[in-house]
A and B are shown apart, each in its own frame.
Chain A
Amino acid sequence: MGGILTTLIFLPLAGMLLLAFVPGSNARAVRLVTLLVTVVLFLVSVPLAWEFEGTGGMEFEERAPWVPAFGISYHVGIDGISLFLLLLTTFLAPLVYLSAWNAITSRVKEFALFYLLLHTGMIGAFVALDLFLFYVFWELMLVPMAFLIGVWGGERRIYAAVKFVLYTVVGSLLMLAALLVLARHAAEASGSLSFDWADLVGTPVPRTLQMLLFGAFALAFAIKVPLFPFHTWLPDAHVEAPTAGSAILAGILLKMGTYGFLRYAMPLFPEAAQAAAPLLAFLALVGIVYGALVAMVQDDVKKLVAYSSVSHLGFVVLGLFAFNTSGIQGAIYVMLAHGLSTSALFLLVGVMYERRHTRLISEYGGLARPMPLFAAFFLVTTLASIGLPALCGFVGEFLVLFGTFRVHPGRAAIAATGVVLGAVYMLWMFRRVFFGPITADANRNLRDLSLREIVVLVPLLVGMVVLGVRPMPLLDRMEKAVERHIEMMRGDARAEAETPEIRFVAEAVDSMEEAR
């Protein structure tokens, strides 16, 4: 008898089995079954939110032997870090599928099958606590995503799909090699081969070896994030992927990289993580500014949103490598906020594309008049994305900047320009698309949002607002787990480089937080 997590992993597979009996010619039935499966998936995951205690340790743990001879076990569980990413995944699953209701008209059944398989991979990767199991799920995500891009994508879809696969696979195979080396090293110390996260995380690894292994893990995760010089697959994949694919890619898949850093690369190799922090923080800063600048000059809305992801994910990495509670909490919060706002942005761009079959900003203008409701949804999402207080983007970015400021004020200052630039490119794009005179006649009589589109967008919007005004329930549940992670990567990072002035500011903010 499986627990909730096992159910979540295997539910999409069961859904695929169910779909096998639905004739592919009956597109409506296929869509309904898939939607039903994803809704059930979400409903099954909801109790996690209440039953989660936030002890800091792993909860809902399940263990079963898988391949004892290879030291591999089926071990899953969640803590305050993975809980919300898991919930985000199941939350987006039905919404994104519903958004693709009319957009995917060919090979509907195959789309549904890959969509469900992808969810098994993503959910598995978030809850796995055996490194080997994690690797299996990590790779499992690859093939369905490549198919989603390559079959249902735009003109250069095959190029984008192949690029996506090759980038990811180079990193992940090196990670596999590092994983084997790490397991062997741990086995020499403990006497028995094990890939269990809990067994490996406490293993002391000599410094040189740590650097090498961290390098391999970090490369795999940095490609997935994507961190600055490894980001070039992202715009291609995003632009060519179908709307639903982009939404999942931005919403969930990009979080795999940062989640990997937090769960694996940093606690497993704490010294190396400390040593590499300046480099990674530098790359994150470059990503923040560069992503924002490149986003600014895009003439394609979808590409603009794609580059904005590079910028936002830079914040996440920056927060992680501040090595303090607010930085890491902020990073997780940005992951969640970005998951909501950016997937919503992709869905909104998809709405435009479905109507006009173009994503060029110059083709639009004055859209607020024919589509007022759409404009309103778009505006709120834009504001959430640029971090307006009371919407989800603000909390995370503030915490990241705050956490970074406590240890490296300079980094925080540079990152803050990213926030400003974010407002510039998003609002500028918004103005060009929605305000001004209607320049193209085709835009004059565009249909506003349909009921289905509203049903998709309202929960996302509600999510953005809730995350913006009530952050404490989430932060509380994360706190213990984050502190435990910091404990694991102990290098006295908290005390590092805190000048008296900064400590004064920090204490002031702390007392303000308490007062609140």
Chain B
Amino acid sequence: MSPPLFGPDILRALLPFIVVAVGATLTTLLGAWRTRLGLAAAVAVLAVAVLALRGAPESVRAWEGALVLDRFSLVFMALLLGAAFFTLFLSEPVLRREGRVRAEYYGLLLFSLSGMFLLVSTTNLLMIFLALELLSIPLYVLCGYAREDDRSIEAAMKYFVLGSFSSAIFLFGAALLFGATGTIDLAAMHGGDRLLGAAGVLLLLVGFFFKAAAVPFHMWAPDVYDGAPTPIASFMATAVKIATFGLLLRVLSFAFAAEAHPAAAFLDREAAEPALRWIAILTMSVGNLSALTQNNVKRMLAYSSIAHAGYLFLGLIPGSGAVDGAGVTYYLVAYLFMTSGAFAVIAALSAREGGREVLTVDRFAGVGYRRPFLGLAMTIFLVSLAGIPPTAGFFGKYLLFRGAIDRGLTGLVVIAVLNSALSLYYYLRVVVFFYMKETDRPAAIDDALGFRLAMIAALAGVLWIGFMPDLFGLPGIPSLLGWVQASVSSLP
């Protein structure tokens, strides 16, 4: 019996997507006559989306995998909503400071979010492509949102050219896979031409690696993060990463699930594993080594986010077991809080001078004493990014590393650990300037409420997970680890 094409369950499952997409359209339209209400509209849309998410059914599969709503997609959608909230907090004060408050900005943000929602809740290749484009195109625009800043335009251009390129590669891979198996549903792929299938999976993954900014497909990331408005950089560092790793987890767990789906395993484990290992090693090492030499803090955070993608890759290598979905998801929760927090601090410090952002680290001298809370918060975010206890970042790393050791990847863990030690140097450098140096040209500090709210929320998350790594105490998420584990149980 084939599943029904439509029904109340499917409608409820579609509701979160409909809310965000329709909300995005309405918010954009608002630009025509009440453009200042953009933030309010976006917050309202996200609030309704939270409700829709809470009411969504937990296992729906429809239309050849075009819509897959399971615990996994729900957890990732919740994370994406969190990232979107952080971005909204940062956006309004930055837009106001620069005199660019427009509802279209929020509309584009929501469109991008709807693309991410789709990306984490589908196994259908065509749908993945659509979702990728829906995610990316609004971001190309948002990267160039600071129109008078040539670096912002450069960022948009770079992201657009390389993004389209990676989409094309992905599409090519999808076509090959379809040719090999006769289906576009990842979950239904059986048999077929192995060589063609393997080539397809390879191209597919390269497309994703572009989006995840994994070395050697990372070249665009520092320029784009640096040039894009800070809230958008934050959005790309958190939401885009979360969505991409959600997708990677799903695809790789299908590709590696040889026992459960013998025919689905196009990836030859023996061939794929070393490649993934090298990507993990390169991504964390290149990210960290490049971050070492950065004087611009935003660029430093860009490289640091590449390094963190490298740590996350540890969880994608099956080793002697399976893909470590729980570890990756848990790390993403921690990563969301600490990265959003760090970007909130950067946003508060990124006033423009002569049309350009000045974010060199020496301008931050003494900030820790001028704004004690901001200094303390930044110190804790950076310590957490470096993985020092008791913070969220530490337990994130702990879980990833433990999982990797359990799967026999001890060598990789040692490299990751040495990388963490390295990273402490450049994170610490910011703290050194915050507290231990002085300057006669201090940076302007923006005390807008949005920044402060974002910092408080991020700080609460980082410390809460740091002190009670398993207990979360939110309605629906009493045990963080349990929540994360339950979510990946719906993967093959």
Contact = CB atoms under 8 A, between A and B. Distances in A.
Contacts of B414: 174, 177
B274 interface: no
A78 B150 CA distance: 63
A136 B432 CA distance: 22
Given A150-B435, A180-B405, A67 B369 contact: no
Nearest to A171: B421
B370 to A, nearest CB: 13
A157 B436 CA distance: 9
B289 to A, nearest CB: 15
A173 B402 contact: no
Q: How large is the interface on A (under 10, 10 to 19, 20 to 34, 35 or more residues)?
A: 20 to 34
Interface stretch (B151-159, B246-254, B335-343, B383-391): B383-391
Given A68-B470, A180-B405, A158 B417 contact: no
Q: 5 shortest A-B CB distances, which residue pairs?
A: A136-B389, A173-B417, A170-B421, A150-B436, A69-B470
Given A135-B389, A140-B390, A166 B436 contact: no
B398 A139 contact: no
Interface string B401-421: 110011000100110011011
A174 B417 contact: yes
Contacts of B470: 67-70
B428 A67 contact: no
7 contacts: A70-B469, A143-B379, A143-B388, A157-B436, A173-B417, A176-B398, A184-B405
A283 interface: no
B425 A173 contact: no
Given A139-B388, A139-B389, A169 B424 contact: yes
Interface of B is mostly: helix
A474 interface: no
B402 to A, nearest CB: 5
Given A151-B436, A162-B428, A184-B402, A176 B417 contact: yes
Contacts of B468: 67
A162 B435 CA distance: 13
A162 B426 CA distance: 10
A181 B410 contact: yes
Contacts of A169: 388, 420-421, 424
Of listed A139, A142, A150, A180, residue having the most chain B CB within 10 A: A180
B389 A140 contact: yes
Of listed B395, B421, B425, residue having the most chain A CB within 10 A: B421
B23 to A, nearest CB: 37
A150 B388 contact: no
Interface of A: 67-70, 107, 135-136, 139-140, 142-143, 146-147, 150-151, 157-158, 161-162, 165-166, 169-170, 173-174, 176-177, 180-181, 183-184
A209 to B, nearest CB: 10
A161 B98 CA distance: 39
A274 to B, nearest CB: 24
A200 to B, nearest CB: 15
A150 B433 CA distance: 10
A122 to B, nearest CB: 15
Contacts of A143: 379, 383, 388
Contacts of A180: 398, 401-402, 405, 413
A166 B388 CA distance: 12
Contact of B479 (A69, A166, A181): A69
Contacts of A147: 435
Of listed B394, B413, B436, B481, residue having the most chain A CB within 10 A: B436
A158 B437 CA distance: 9
Of listed A135, A162, A169, residue having the most chain B CB within 10 A: A169
A261 B369 CA distance: 39
B388 A142 contact: yes
B383 A177 contact: no
A173 B418 contact: yes
A69 B481 contact: yes
A181 B425 CA distance: 26
B435 A177 contact: no
A149 to B, nearest CB: 9
A186 to B, nearest CB: 12
A350 to B, nearest CB: 21
A157 B432 CA distance: 10
A113 B136 CA distance: 46
